[in-house]
Chain A
């Protein structure tokens, strides 16, 4: 893979030199990065289980996704429309992957001390970074388009397939350039750490949009009516990036209009001229972003906000021992400052409204009517179920970027591990579940009536109880002590599955309880509070050996 890619890049040697890049250095940097990647994944997997290269596995998944996309677009006969949508989907997926998974590679600061002192121009360094990312993005793009390319070869001919793949390469490159352009423009507006925060929020927003898109799009698109739709070219069509490679391919079917020639020119010119703009003129801004982050801003003073003071007071209400309070405080502070934690937890919260729409299926043409109809149903049980997304963050508790800091728990005469965990769990229940579930209660009381309040309360308490039981059974590690790489994807899905299953049971229980008079439900709630206290006590007093 590496040698082939380097050979492929070498074909563009003259062009790359035209962008003001030292080719010899560029290739050295790129080769080194790729070698390091392969050694890294190799040594990672040698130590864990015998697993194949995870990237290959990912590519197989992307191939399937691409096949699925092709399948749903198959009925569109107009090649221009078909390919425009196809390229649009490929571009959106690539941009998401780029922003969510490769941002850290793009702004990797670890290489600063090694590379920035060498006589490498910003352009060379920047292009090496871009190509390093393009190596992965290119293979992902290829995997996504593999099956649709084969379909094109059958529908038309092999030349069209080849042109289609060239278009895929071009659109991958366009996507990368646009993403970089977005970042560099953003860095002009927001500076320093605020920039990183901002990127985090963009990532969270994208994660929610993509999830929503996957769920909602198939419901909106009506496949039957798509057979006879044709895409007419207006003046503004030339501003839609996915239309460029699509028109580029149609140009080669030789039955398009002269407009296709313009698409052809755009598809080629934008990547190359864009690269000149980005590499030649914007690479300095990139160097500044990297340089900015090399020095730790140690003088930044953490001020206590009112909210924090309030949460510090709340811990007195919920926490019993000093160690528990400390667990609460350290969790509150770390989760507020750790970007990676936010990245993995906040999207789950963003999914709640999307899931609510999917589950309730309101009729958007008649909102008041469908709310009225809802009022007569048991659909508020879904809301109890949605509360589950408010506790997911708790299972991210053990993970951190600095697992080596956990030596303190081994070296210090410390045996209150359980207290630390229970304080941390309580903090996250307070921070995420409490506000989320309060909103859910508020909304459901507005739609249904105050009379369902006891049931919602019972549901919430049961959710808390289930969470604590899951913490116990999972034998949760101490907060912020495990490396994120160790996080096995399989475990995560298992928790999700188990959690969903038990949440179904909770909703069922609440449904049964709804036949009781309200004081019966309240009595049950008090019983559950007792169970929560018991579960919490067993987390707290659980004996931990030496970790």
Chain B
């Protein structure tokens, strides 16, 4: 089942991906994670990138962000080739990693200033921007505390701030809501819709189906290294699958496993 209902010929795509393949080598064994992905992504969209664990979501995002520089296929971002113009592209994108990687011995202020300097933002402008971000996320109180004692949510907020500090045109987020409390979830959701309204493109991976269903303009479902569904939720849903969760289960072929919990409980009874 392959749907591509989001063609907007009037606009030029922001990202074009053609035949993207990625294989990891480990000695003699090869592991093909991405098996030929083709996509066009247009400005101002919120794209929910979903798929089972190990489907290749993070690998796609890491390739698009330039963390994995070595891949097969063609990727153009802002009309430039990612392989040859990675630096120019990186200046205009933001990334929020999934595993909470940051220097936790720094304070949020120090960390954001460090990242901002790497983007080449001037000192005066940077200070203002950092102040702005900290107050938007309600983090002024903690601005000068080292992050090693922070909760997961507070670190996540800092990561989101560092992802948008360069005012990116495209923002990639990998599980951005994990560890956030309910208020922060609302905050980040609002931020994402606002950014999209201002013409920014959001590309995010998540396992939270209800949120993906609500805020995405376009949903991409990846399974086993290929895109198996692509479109608005309203277009994708069928009679059997009224929610994204059900659709997900139906398309990734897990519905039988998911609902055969009887077998699981039987195995307990045997002992």
A residues near B (Cβ < 8 Å) are: 24-25, 28-29, 32, 35-36, 39-40, 43, 110-122, 190-194, 284, 287-288, 291-292, 294-295, 297-300
- Residues of A close to B26: CB separation below 8 A: 191-194, 297, 300
- Identify A113's interface contact among B24, B94, B99, B105, CB under 8 A: B99
- Residues of B close to A36: CB separation below 8 A: 103, 105-106
The reply to whether B66 and A112 form a contact with Cβ atoms under 8 Å apart is no
- Identify B62's interface contact among A43, A193, A294, CB under 8 A: A294
Please encode chain B, from 168 to 208, with 1 for each CB lying within 8 Å of some chain A CB and 0 for all others: 00000000000000000000000000000000000000000
Q: With A39-B105, A291-B69 given, can you name 7 additional A-B contacts, CB distance below 8 Å?
A: A24-B117, A25-B120, A32-B106, A114-B101, A116-B66, A192-B25, A294-B62
The reply to whether A300 and B29 form a contact with Cβ atoms under 8 Å apart is yes
The reply to whether B119 and A118 form a contact with Cβ atoms under 8 Å apart is yes
* B84-110 at interface with A (beta carbon < 8 Å): 87-88, 90-91, 93-95, 97, 99, 101-103, 105-106
A39 vs B148: C-alpha distance when bound (angstroms): 11
Please encode chain B, from 228 to 250, with 1 for each CB lying within 8 Å of some chain A CB and 0 for all others: 00000000000000000000000
- Residues of B close to A193: CB separation below 8 A: 26-27
**Is B258 close to A, CB under 8 A?**
no
The reply to whether A287 and B69 form a contact with Cβ atoms under 8 Å apart is yes
The reply to whether B65 and A116 form a contact with Cβ atoms under 8 Å apart is yes
Q: A28-B114, A36-B106, A113-B97 are in contact. Are A294 and B68 (CB under 8 A)?
A: yes
- Residues of A close to B148: CB separation below 8 A: 43
- Residues of A close to B105: CB separation below 8 A: 36, 39-40, 43
- Identify B27's interface contact among A40, A192, A287, CB under 8 A: A192
The reply to whether B33 and A295 form a contact with Cβ atoms under 8 Å apart is yes
- Residues of A close to B62: CB separation below 8 A: 291, 294-295
| Nearest-neighbor residue (CB-CB) of A116 within chain B | B67
- Residues of B close to A24: CB separation below 8 A: 117, 120
- Residues of A close to B33: CB separation below 8 A: 295
- Residues of B close to A113: CB separation below 8 A: 67, 95, 97, 99, 101
- Residues of B close to A39: CB separation below 8 A: 105, 146
The reply to whether A117 and B66 form a contact with Cβ atoms under 8 Å apart is yes
- Tell me the minimal C-beta distance from A451 to chain B in angstroms: 48
**Is B31 close to A, CB under 8 A?**
yes
- Tell me the minimal C-beta distance from B129 to chain A in angstroms: 16
Q: Is the interface of A mostly helix, strand, loop or mixed?
A: helix
The reply to whether A190 and B27 form a contact with Cβ atoms under 8 Å apart is yes
- Tell me the minimal C-beta distance from A342 to chain B in angstroms: 17
26 contacts between A and B (CB under 8 A): A24-B120, A25-B120, A32-B103, A36-B105, A40-B105, A113-B67, A113-B99, A113-B101, A114-B101, A116-B65, A116-B66, A117-B66, A118-B90, A118-B118, A119-B88, A120-B90, A121-B87, A191-B27, A192-B25, A284-B69, A288-B69, A292-B25, A295-B59, A295-B62, A295-B68, A300-B26
**Is B257 close to A, CB under 8 A?**
no
**Is B17 close to A, CB under 8 A?**
no
**Is B54 close to A, CB under 8 A?**
yes
| B69, B91, B93, B97, most chain A CB atoms within 10 A | B69
| Nearest-neighbor residue (CB-CB) of B102 within chain A | A114
The reply to whether A117 and B114 form a contact with Cβ atoms under 8 Å apart is no
| Nearest-neighbor residue (CB-CB) of A190 within chain B | B27
The reply to whether A112 and B70 form a contact with Cβ atoms under 8 Å apart is no
The reply to whether B69 and A117 form a contact with Cβ atoms under 8 Å apart is no
- Residues of B close to A117: CB separation below 8 A: 65-67, 90, 93-95
- Residues of B close to A119: CB separation below 8 A: 87-88, 90-91, 118-120
**Is B58 close to A, CB under 8 A?**
yes
The reply to whether B25 and A191 form a contact with Cβ atoms under 8 Å apart is yes
The reply to whether B24 and A297 form a contact with Cβ atoms under 8 Å apart is yes
A292 vs B90: C-alpha distance when bound (angstroms): 19
- Tell me the minimal C-beta distance from B82 to chain A in angstroms: 12
- Tell me the minimal C-beta distance from B160 to chain A in angstroms: 14
A85 vs B105: C-alpha distance when bound (angstroms): 42
The reply to whether B118 and A300 form a contact with Cβ atoms under 8 Å apart is no
The reply to whether B67 and A292 form a contact with Cβ atoms under 8 Å apart is no
**Is B39 close to A, CB under 8 A?**
no
Interface pairs A-B: 10 shortest CB-CB: A113-B97, A192-B26, A113-B101, A194-B27, A119-B90, A291-B68, A117-B95, A191-B25, A116-B67, A39-B105
- Identify A298's interface contact among B27, B54, B95, CB under 8 A: B54
- Tell me the minimal C-beta distance from B144 to chain A in angstroms: 14
The reply to whether B91 and A291 form a contact with Cβ atoms under 8 Å apart is no
A287 vs B54: C-alpha distance when bound (angstroms): 23
A25 vs B106: C-alpha distance when bound (angstroms): 18
A300 vs B33: C-alpha distance when bound (angstroms): 12
Q: A24-B120, A43-B148 are in contact. Are A297 and B31 (CB under 8 A)?
A: yes
**Is B115 close to A, CB under 8 A?**
yes
The reply to whether A118 and B115 form a contact with Cβ atoms under 8 Å apart is yes
- Tell me the minimal C-beta distance from B80 to chain A in angstroms: 13
A163 vs B17: C-alpha distance when bound (angstroms): 56
